[in-house]
Amino acid sequence: MCFNTYIQHIKAEKYRQFGFSLQLLNPIHWFQFADDAAVIIGQESENQHLLNRFSICCQWSNMVVRVDKCSTFGIKKVLSKSAQYLPKLLIKKDLIPTIKTGESFEYLGRHFDFSMTNEKHKCKLISLIDELMSEIDLKPLHPKNKILLYSRYVLSKLSWHLTVATISKTWVVENIDSPVNKYVRKWLEVPISGTLSNIFLTRNKFGLNIIPASVKFIQCQTVLRNALKTSSNDSINELWKSTNNHTNIQYDSYNSTKEVLKTFHSQQENKLRDRLKCQGSFFENISKFSLSQLNAIWSVSQSKLPKNIFNFTIRYMNNTLPTRKNLSRWGISSSSDCSFCLHPESLLHVVAGCQHYLERFTWRHDCILKFLAKTFQSLNECKLLVDLPGFESPSIITGDEYRPDLLVSSSDKHLYVIELTVGFESNLTNNVNRKKAKYKNLIGELDQNFTSVKFINLSVSSLGVFDKECHTFVKMLNELGLDNQHQQYCIRKMISIAIRSTYYIFCCRNKEWTNTELMNI
C-alpha cells in the first residue's frame, strides 16, 4: 500500500472506522509523492489529530514511520505579523524533529524557509552545475561528445530543479548559462569575442542543436503551467487562473515545449542575420544559397571530423579564426595585411581569395575532383574523361577552348558535363551563374552529337556546403544507378575532403606552398 492510494481513499466510507472526521479538519491540503507525505493545516491541534489517524492507518497496513526522517515547520501570527515557531507534534509519543528558526527543509526537491528566498536551492543548483560540468571537462572526450553529455545528461539532471524552484529566467541566465557557456567555449575553442548563436541552431542549419539552461527552464515552466491549465481538477484550474499574472505570463504564452524551441531558434537566426553582420555572414549566405536537402549530411560529416578540424569548422562559421584581420581587431597584431599580396587578410582572403594562393585552391579543387573520378570510374558501361593527370582529357570531345572538369558518357549516348567550382560561401551562386554562362555555347554544340547533354553545375563552398543548383548533381547520381546509401557516402566524402583541404590551406597561410600530392581519404 502506498500513500498515494491512502490519500485518494481516506475519505471513503469504509475508512471511517479509523476515526477520521472531515468536520474537524478544515481546511486540509495534501501533497504526496511515492512514499512521502506532507500535511498543511491551519491549527496545530488539528495537525496532531490528523497525524494520529495517519499513524493508525500505517499501523494497520504494517508500515513503519521513520520519525527521525520526518520534520515539522511552523508559521503563526504574532500580533499583526507572521513568525516562524517550533511546533510540537508527536507520532506514537515520539517528538517529530522541528526545523530551526531561519533554516529550511526540502520536500520533493524544493526548499522551503520562512522568508521563501530559496537561497539554499539556488546554492545547490550552482554547486550541481559546477560539479557536473567540471566532471565532463576532465574526461578525455571529443568536444561533440562533451556537448552531447551536457545536452542529454546535465539538462535532464536540472529539469526537476528548474520546474519546482522559485527562480527567475534572469537568475538562470546569470548563474547557470554563464558557467555552461564558459565550458562550451573551452571545448570548442571559441574566444570570448565569438558568438555562440551559430551552435545554438539546429543541425540542418549547421548548428550543434545546443540549448542553454535558461531555455530548458522556460520549457519546464511551460510544462508546469500547462499541467495546471489543462488539469481535470477544478481547484487546480483555479490555481492556474489566480497565478496567471506577472512572471507567469511569459510561460503561459507558449502551448508546448516545441514552441519554446522554435522561438529560441528564431531569435538566434535573427540575431545572426540582423545584428552580427561579421559573425553571421556564414549563416546568412548558406540560408540563401545552400541545398537544404544536403544540410543534414553536412552535419554528419562534421561530427566525424577529429577534434582540431571539428573546432576549426565552428570558428570558421562564426568568423573567429586567427586571421591577421581578426588579430588586428583584437589588438594582437599591428598589421592586418597578407604577407604575400598586402591585401587585408580576412577569412575569405585566406581560403578563397588571395591571388598568391591560387595553386592551393587548385589543389583543393583537384582533391574533390579526384574522388569524383574514382567514384564514377567504378560505373559500368560509362566512359570517363577527367581534367586530371592519369585520365583521358575532356578536350578529346570538347576541344581545347572549353575544357570542363569531368565528362561522363553512357553507352546510350547520354553525356553529363560536370564543372566543379570550390569557393567562398558568399560566392556560391555567383560561381554558378559564371560557369553557366561560360559553358552555354559548348552545351549547345555537344547536343548535336549526343542523345542528351546535361550540364551539372557543381558549386561547393570552402567548407563543403552545396549550392541549390547542385540538385542536378543529386539527380545525376540517381540516373547513373547509385543507390541512396552510395549517394550519401559520395556526398559525405566530398564534404569531408573540402573541409580537410580548407583546414590545411588555412594552417599553411603566410607560408610557402610545397604540397602537390592530392588528398586521399
Residue type, 136: I
Name the 3-class secondary structure at 169.
helix
Are the CB atoms for 272 and 284 separated by under 8 Å? yes
d(CA 339, CA 47): 83
Please tell me the predicted confidence (pLDDT) of residue 10: 53
Q: Which CATH architecture has domain 357-520?
A: 3-Layer(aba) Sandwich (3.40)
d(CA 324, CA 254): 45
Least confidently predicted of 50-54, 163-167, 185-189, 447-451 = 50-54
Are the CB atoms for 182 and 259 separated by under 8 Å? no
Q: Is the dihedral of CA 485, 490, 493, 498 positive or negative?
A: negative
Closest CA to 298 of 520, 141, 497: 497
- DSSP E strand boundaries for 299-413: 382-386, 406-410
pLDDT band per the 50, 70, 90 thresholds, residue 30: very low
| Non-local CB neighbours of 38 within 8 Å, separated by 6+ positions | 30, 31, 32, 107
Please tell me the predicted confidence (pLDDT) of residue 25: 46
Please tell me the predicted confidence (pLDDT) of residue 117: 81
Are the CB atoms for 352 and 346 separated by under 8 Å? no
pLDDT tens digit sequence for 70-106: 899 988 888 888 888 888 888 888 999 999 988 888 8
Please tell me the predicted confidence (pLDDT) of residue 355: 94
- Cα end-to-end distance, the chain, whole Å: 63
d(CA 394, CA 388): 10
Please tell me the predicted confidence (pLDDT) of residue 1: 35
d(CA 283, CA 273): 7
Residue type, 186: K
Give the domain ranges of the chain.
1-113, 119-276, 357-520
Checking DSSP bridges between strand 90-91 and strand 94-95, what pairing results, if any?
A: antiparallel
Does residue 272 surpass a pLDDT of 90?
A: yes
Does residue 205 surpass a pLDDT of 80?
A: yes
pTM: 0.85
Name the 3-class secondary structure at 181.
helix
Please tell me the predicted confidence (pLDDT) of residue 93: 86
Please tell me the predicted confidence (pLDDT) of residue 175: 96
